[in-house]
């Protein structure tokens, strides 16, 4: 039982560290470049290009917001997993160390009270 508990806590800590690493990956995700609005000689080309630039910029803004939100969520969940499972491991280890010593066997107690006369 103790090994199962310790193994599950260590697995929880491992998933927490993995979640923290993935959060930094999400923060560093490249969302693309900003598309500029251009003007051409014909009205149709200018309108199509500017509509495409507006859509591209909106997708970039959504991607940045999503990456920041997911990165923050992964970071918070990862830290919670690590600290919760680390606390469980420390608490469980402290309980194992503070086990009360066994009482001396009666035979040993009787032998210590015995007086030998030579």
111 in a domain, yes or no?
A: no
26 in a domain, yes or no?
A: yes
107 in a domain, yes or no?
A: no
104 in a domain, yes or no?
A: no
pLDDT of residue 116: 60
108 in a domain, yes or no?
A: no
Q: Examine the pLDDT at 118 and tell me if it is beyond 70.
A: no
83 in a domain, yes or no?
A: yes
106 in a domain, yes or no?
A: no
d(CA 37, CA 34): 10
Structural domain tally of the chain?
1
Q: 18 or 43, which is more confident?
A: 18
Residues spanned by the domain of 25? 10-99
116 in a domain, yes or no?
A: no
- Give the pLDDT confidence of 57-85 residue by residue, as tens digits: 999 999 999 999 999 999 999 999 999 98
What is the pTM (predicted TM-score) of this model? 0.65
């Amino acid at each position: 039982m103790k090994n199962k508990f310790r193994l599950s806590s260590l697995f929880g800590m491992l998933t927490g560290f993995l979640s923290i690493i993935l959060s930094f990956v999400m923060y560093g995700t490249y969302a693309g470049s900003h598309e500029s609005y251009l003007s051409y000689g014909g009205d149709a080309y200018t309108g199509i290009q500017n509509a495409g630039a507006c859509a591209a910029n909106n997708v970039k803004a959504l991607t940045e917001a999503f990456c920041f939100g997911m990165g923050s969520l992964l970071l918070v969940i990862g830290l919670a997993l690590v600290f919760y499972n680390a606390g469980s491991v420390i608490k469980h280890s402290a309980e194992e160390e503070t086990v009360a010593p066994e009482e001396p066997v009666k035979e040993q107690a009787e032998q210590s009270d015995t007086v030998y006369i030579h």
